[in-house]
Amino acid sequence: MNIYALDVSWAATADERRSLHRELLACDEVRGVFLTACDDVLAVLFAGDRRRFDDWAREVDPTTSPLTYEQGALT
């Protein structure tokens, strides 16, 4: 198990925070979540390795999705 920092600055609305909460609960590799001194960062106790955590964190954060308008996928 490792502890990783998860940037949650994208979760500004109540809907986004609910979505984040569901994602944290749904991931079998998340063993615990802790507040940090930074408002926009959570410490996540994660059962996978760094690469798996980074992949999962990108899936959770809608601003890093490959299907965003800015990237031309939804034109």
Q: Is residue 75 part of a domain?
A: no
- Could you tell me the residue range of the domain that residue 30 belongs to? 2-63
Sign (positive or negative) of CA dihedral 10, 14, 18, 24: positive
Task: Look at the pTM and tell me if it is higher than 0.85.
Answer: no
Q: What is the pLDDT of residue 39?
A: 87
What would the pLDDT profile of 19-71 be if each residue is shown by its tens digit? 899 999 999 999 999 999 988 999 999 999 999 999 999 988 877 755 444 44
Q: What is the pLDDT of residue 63?
A: 79
Query: CATH no. for residue 34?
Result: 3.30.70
What are the C-alpha distances in Å from 7 to residues 3, 72, 73? 13, 25, 24
Q: What is the pLDDT of residue 62?
A: 79
How many domains, in total, are found in the chain?
1
Q: Report the SS3 class of residue 16.
A: helix
CB atoms within 10 A of CB 18: 11
Phi/psi class of residue 72: alpha, beta or left (left: φ > 0; alpha: ψ in -120 to 50)? left
- Chain mean position to CA 33: 11
Q: Is residue 40 part of a domain?
A: yes
Q: Is residue 68 part of a domain?
A: no
Q: Is residue 72 part of a domain?
A: no
